[in-house]
């Protein structure tokens, strides 16, 4: 018998049956073939058992740490504090929401929202009218500019002319 592997011999067929707990199969009866088949299957029962034991130990260790952590949190009062803080935050959010709702209803009932909307609309209309007036003024200024420029040139020329004549006198 190989380590961790149960090998059953079937003499009449000249073959050997093996069972490693996870796999069952037929192998050749030669020693090389037996070793090759076990190695190529990649299954090592001792390593598998050891891995399972290690996993179980890790689970036990984690469970113990979890119990200790919960006990420490409970004894320190941290759980009560966080619970109280969440409760207070929830109550504050509820109260704030209620106050905002009440204020919005009051503004609506007093007509403040409607009046504000009307004032915004009136302001918009007045701003449009002002913009139109400014556009018209700018256009009129542009149209008058050539005439104004010409008038200024003529006036400047007359002033120069008078200055020259009066300077020679």
Domain annotation covers residue 153: no
Short-list 59, 40, 28, CA closest to 7: 28
pLDDT at 61: 96
For residues 119 and 164, which has the higher predicted lDDT (pLDDT)? 119
Residue 56 reports pLDDT greater than 90: yes
Task: Give CA separation, 58 vs 35, 48, 54, 73, in Å.
Answer: 33, 15, 6, 22
Given 58, 76, 94, the domain boundary residue is 76
Examine the domain organization and report whether 5 and 33 are in the same domain.
yes
Domain annotation covers residue 152: no
Domain annotation covers residue 161: no
Cα separation, 137 vs 143, in Å, equals 10
Task: Give CA separation, 114 vs 100, 102, 103, 111, 119, in Å.
Answer: 18, 17, 15, 5, 9
Identify the residue whose tokens are 């420029």.
149
Domain annotation covers residue 97: yes
State which residues form the domain around 62.
44-76
Q: At what angle do helices 45-76 and 78-110 cross, to 10 degrees?
A: 60
The alpha carbon of residue 100 and the mean position of all alpha carbons in its chain are separated, in whole angstroms, by 28
Examine the domain organization and report whether 70 and 91 are in the same domain.
no
Residue count of the chain, please give it.
Answer: 169
Identify the residue whose tokens are 């009218």.
129
Residue 161 reports pLDDT greater than 60: yes
Token digits of residue 126: 């007045």
Residues 66-94 pLDDT 10s? 999 999 999 999 999 999 999 999 999 99
Examine the domain organization and report whether 39 and 51 are in the same domain.
no
Q: How many domains does the chain have?
A: 4
Domain annotation covers residue 154: no
Examine the domain organization and report whether 9 and 32 are in the same domain.
yes
Domain annotation covers residue 1: yes
Cα separation, 39 vs 64, in Å, equals 38
User: Region 117-140: what's the mean pLDDT?
Assistant: 93
pLDDT at 48: 93
Examine the domain organization and report whether 21 and 50 are in the same domain.
no
Question: Do 16 and 27 form a contact (C-beta atoms < 8 A)?
Answer: yes
Domain annotation covers residue 162: no
Examine the domain organization and report whether 50 and 19 are in the same domain.
no
In this prediction, residue 139 has a pLDDT band, given cuts at 50, 70 and 90, of: confident
pLDDT at 8: 43
Examine the domain organization and report whether 36 and 2 are in the same domain.
yes
In this prediction, residue 5 has a pLDDT band, given cuts at 50, 70 and 90, of: very low
Cα separation, 48 vs 87, in Å, equals 50
Q: Which residues pair with 8 in a beta bridge?
A: 17
Domain annotation covers residue 157: no
Cα separation, 86 vs 83, in Å, equals 5
């Amino acid at each position: 018998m190989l380590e961790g592997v149960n090998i059953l011999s079937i003499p009449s067929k000249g073959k050997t049956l093996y069972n490693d707990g996870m796999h069952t199969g037929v192998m050749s009866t030669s020693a090389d073939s037996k070793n090759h088949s076990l190695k190529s299957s990649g299954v090592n029962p001792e390593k598998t058992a050891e891995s399972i034991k290690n996993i179980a130990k890790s689970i036990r260790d984690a469970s113990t740490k979890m119990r200790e952590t919960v006990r420490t949190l409970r004894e320190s009062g941290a759980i009560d504090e966080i619970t109280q803080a969440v409760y207070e935050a929830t109550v504050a959010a509820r109260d704030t929401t209620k106050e905002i709702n009440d204020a919005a209803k009051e503004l609506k009932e007093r007509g403040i929202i409607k009046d504000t909307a009307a004032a915004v609309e009136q302001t918009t209309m007045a701003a449009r009218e002002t913009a139109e007036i400014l556009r018209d003024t700018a256009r009129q200024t542009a149209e008058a500019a050539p005439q104004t420029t010409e008038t200024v040139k003529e006036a400047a020329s007359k002033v120069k002319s008078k200055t020259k004549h009066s300077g020679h006198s």
